[in-house]
Structure 1
């Protein structure tokens, strides 16, 4: 898959820069609901399941803002899980 690039003021910028920024904001300040899973050995799986369920529910009721917000939360949770599975503590 090719990542699309756009040109802004002579600079090449990923068209997903805003999305990456939104995910970074969630990583820096996770939703309060994540705290309930802090000491659970399966915390990331449970957070992923929760965010996915909230995203699906928002879609079913036609809540576009809730759907996209939970999509960003899910992306952040997936990155946390990936990091926990593949990186050393000091990474």
Structure 2
């Protein structure tokens, strides 16, 4: 039984590792995009979200995140805001 628990633990570790690698890959792709490309991607996503039901909690939250991204793209950012922007993009998988 103890071996089974060790295997289970390894599986969750592997899942976490795969997710980390995927997030890093998404971050690198976002870093390579220019600001205009990012704005275009966000605007396309906004069009998609606008097709969802207006009272959807998911749509409301996603729109809030997209607006935050547009705001961060339009202002001079600090290092922490740059990091936040990268995380927002990575989380959206645009």
- TM-score, normalised with respect to structure 1: 0.41
Q: Under a length normalisation based on structure 2, what TM-score does the superposition of the two structures give?
A: 0.40
Structure showing greater relative contact order (alpha-carbon pairs closer than 8 Å, 6 or more residues apart):
2
- In proportion to residue count, which structure has more strand? 1
Give the number of the structure whose residues are more often helix, by fraction. 2
